[in-house]
Amino acid sequence: MNKMMYLFSQIKKSKNKLSDQFSLPKRIYKIQANLAKMQEALGRIESRQIQSLSDKLTDKLFSRSIQNNEFQVFSQWGEDGIIQALISEIEIERKIFVEFGVQDYTEANTRFLLVNNNWSGLVMDSSPEYIQYIKQDRIYWRYNLKAECAFIDKDNINELLINNGITGDIGLLSIDVDGNDYWIWEAIHCISPRIVISEYNGLFGNHRKLLFLTINSLRGIKLTFPIFIMELPLQLCIT
């Protein structure tokens, strides 16, 4: 009898261990979701603080210096704060964004727009795993977000946008494809974004125009210089 009781107890322990292992992904998901909520809350607080400080300064020097508006919630650097400052000054009728090269969308230029300002939008990445991750994220069913898996180039970008119902005036376009940013931007004609975010390589200063088209950026490692800020004044922020 004692042996049977011992055997049952061991089976029960094994079941509990298996249950704990299967529940681990759920626990990780809950932790990630809670961290995202904390990021959102801190971002809203910082956004209100910056706006309050800007309103108190009579000479508006603070608000005129774009760097003073920087803060980071989900963006890589201070883009979240700059975007908040821009949309408070620019008249935007259609609060729609497009961002591609987003990976799993945990670090992105438009995520705070989505959750804080209730914008809608389209995000794209070439990795099926990343797109699947986004579609399983809580924000995908809570907000008006579409995720598309596609390897983007200058020849298919317009078709991708049109097929996803994105045409005409939109609020913001963010491009990060590590090499062909300028050429893809130049090829886009089906949308007219009020704000454009694009990387540029300032390694050699801002006086020379170096625009190299990489046909297939997956082949080897290439050093490219897509956009210098002096070549496209203001358009990097406002169009």
- Nearest 5 degrees, angle CA 187-CA 192-CA 193? 105
Q: Report which of residues 227 and 161 the model is more confident about.
A: 161
Contact 227, 209 (CB under 8 A): no
Beta bridge partner(s), residue 149: 125
- pLDDT of residue 21 exceeding 70, the answer is no
Give the integer Cα–Cα distance in Å for 85 and 94: 17
Positive or negative, the CA dihedral 79, 85, 87, 91 is negative
Alpha carbon distances (Å) from 222 to 151, 178, 219, 231: 18, 10, 8, 22
Model confidence at 211, in pLDDT bands (50, 70, 90)?
low
Model confidence at 115, in pLDDT bands (50, 70, 90)?
very high
Model confidence at 226, in pLDDT bands (50, 70, 90)?
very low
Give the integer Cα–Cα distance in Å for 152 and 124: 8
- pLDDT of residue 80 exceeding 80, the answer is yes
pLDDT at position 237 is: 40
List, as one string, the DSSP characters of the chain. Answer: -HHHHHHHHHHHHHHHHHHHHHHHHHHHHHHHHHHHHHHHHHHHHHHHHHHHHHHH-TT-HHHHSGGGG---SSSSSSHHHHHHHHHHHS--SS-EEEEE--TTSSS-SSHHHHHHS--EEEEEES-HHHHHHHHHSHHHHHS-EEEEE----TTTHHHHHHHTT--EEEEEEEE--SS-HHHHHHH--SEEEEEEEE----TT-SSS------S-TTSS--------GGGSTTTTT--
Residues of the chain with pLDDT > 90: what percent? 45
Lowest model confidence (mean pLDDT) among 2-6, 77-81, 156-160, 174-178: 2-6
Lowest model confidence (mean pLDDT) among 34-38, 75-79, 191-195: 34-38
Cβ neighbours for 60, distance < 8 A, ≥ 6 positions apart: 54
- pLDDT of residue 190 exceeding 70, the answer is yes
Beta bridge partner(s), residue 191: 168
- pLDDT of residue 19 exceeding 60, the answer is no
Give the integer Cα–Cα distance in Å for 162 and 191: 9
Reported as a single tens digit per residue, the pLDDT across 41-73 is 566 556 655 565 555 555 454 455 777 888 888
Residues of the chain with pLDDT > 70: what percent? 56
Reported as a single tens digit per residue, the pLDDT across 147-188 is 999 999 999 999 999 999 999 999 999 999 877 888 899 999
Each domain of the chain, given as residue ranges in start order, spans 2-231
Contact 227, 203 (CB under 8 A): no
Mean pLDDT rounded to a whole number for the chain: 76
- pLDDT of residue 198 exceeding 70, the answer is yes
pLDDT at position 46 is: 61
pLDDT at position 223 is: 43
